[in-house]
Amino acid sequence: MNETEKYIAQFPENVQDILNEIRQIILEEAPESTEKIAYGMPGFYLNKKPLVYFAAYKNHIGFYATPTGHEEFKKELSVYQQGKGSVQFPLKDEIPYQLIRKIVKFRKNKSQKS
């Protein structure tokens, strides 16, 4: 079991399912990325730079596509609570997996151009 799998395993099954789905999306869209725990949460890196991070909390999933992913998808993310470089997807609502996929693709393309 790697560090991300250990992180995910500590949560209730329903939250594990969400975290595993997000992880799978990232692995599909950026298979060449490097996965590691950073800032106490799973993170993915491309070209030695952060791609995205995600984390589970009591009432939401935090997603961090710092900061260009949030700027690019400002309109779609406006319905969610946000912080600088972060967005919260409430656990009581449907998780926007397709939006997460679009953000990861955008961040990957941005990373490859820099």
- Could you tell me which residue, 83 or 76, shows the higher pLDDT? 76
β-strand partners of 31: none
Phi (first) and psi of residue 78, to 5 degrees: -65, -20
Query: What is this structure's pTM?
Result: 0.94
pLDDT greater than 70 at residue 84: yes
For range 12-33, the mean pLDDT: 97
Kind of pairing, strands 49-56 and 60-64? antiparallel
Kind of pairing, strands 81-83 and 86-90? antiparallel
pLDDT at residue 66 in the model: 80
